[in-house]
Amino acid sequence: MHVLFCLDKSNGYAKEDQIPWHCSEDLKRFKRVTTACERPVLLMGRKTYESMPPKVFEGKRHACVLSHTVTLPVGNVTFCNTLDRALYHCKSYEQTFLIGGPELIQSLIEHVSTIDLTILDAEYGCDAMVRSDWMNSQNGWKLDATEWMEDGRVLQYSRIVDPDRDERSYLRLMSMCLTNGIKKEDRTGVGRHSIFGHQLDFNLQNGFPLLTTKKVYWKGVVQELIWFLNGETNVKKLQEVGVHIWDGNSTRKFMDSIGITDREEGDIGPCYGWQWRHFGADYTDCHADYSGQGVDQINLIVKELQKNPNSSRAVMSAWNAADLDKMNLPPCHVLYQFSLHGEKMNLHMYQRSADVFLGLPFNIASSALLCHIMASILNVGVGSLHISIGDAHVYDNHVEQCFKQLERTPRMPCTLSLTRKLTLDDISILSASDFKLDNYDPYPAIKGDMAV
332 is catalytic: yes
332, 371, 402, 414: the active-site residue: 332
Dist. CA 108–CA 8, nearest whole Å: 23
Check whether residue 236 and residue 355 sit in a common domain.
yes
**Cα distance between the two ends of the chain:** 50
- Indicate whether 119 belongs to any domain: yes
Domain closes at, from 103, 134, 159: 159
- If one counts the domains in the chain, the total is 2
- Report the alpha-carbon angle 137-139-145, nearest 5: 45
Cβ atoms of 25 and 8 within 8 Å: the answer is: no
Check whether residue 15 and residue 116 sit in a common domain.
yes
Q: Amino acid identity of 387?
A: I
CATH at 15 = 3.40.430.10
Q: What is the pTM of this model?
A: 0.83
Check whether residue 125 and residue 214 sit in a common domain.
no
Q: What is the DSSP string of 97-134?
A: EE---HHHHHHTGGG--EEEEEEESS----SEE--TTS
Residues of the chain with pLDDT under 70: 70, 73, 132, 134, 136-138, 163, 451-452
CATH at 250 = 3.30.572.10
Cβ atoms of 293 and 270 within 8 Å: the answer is: no
Peptide bond into 101 cis (omega under 30): yes
Domain closes at, from 159, 178, 193: 159
Check whether residue 303 and residue 418 sit in a common domain.
yes
Check whether residue 148 and residue 176 sit in a common domain.
no
- Indicate whether 446 belongs to any domain: no
How much is the pLDDT for 51?
A: 86
- Indicate whether 77 belongs to any domain: yes
Q: What is the DSSP string of 51-104?
A: TS-GGGGSTT-EEEEE-SS----BTTEEEESSHHHHHHHHTTSSEEEE---HHH
Dist. CA 346–CA 91, nearest whole Å: 20
Q: Find the DSSP H helices in 318-437.
A: 359-377, 399-406
Check whether residue 135 and residue 188 sit in a common domain.
no
- Cβ-based burial of 350 (10 A; exposed 0-12, middle 13-18, buried ≥19): middle
By DSSP bridging, strand 128-129 and strand 182-184 are unpaired
How much is the pLDDT for 31?
A: 92
Q: Render pLDDT for 326-374 as a digit per residue (tens, 0 to 9).
A: 999 999 999 999 999 989 999 999 999 999 999 999 999 999 999 999 9
Check whether residue 7 and residue 138 sit in a common domain.
yes
For 428, the domain range is: 165-438
How much is the pLDDT for 451?
A: 66
How much is the pLDDT for 137?
A: 61
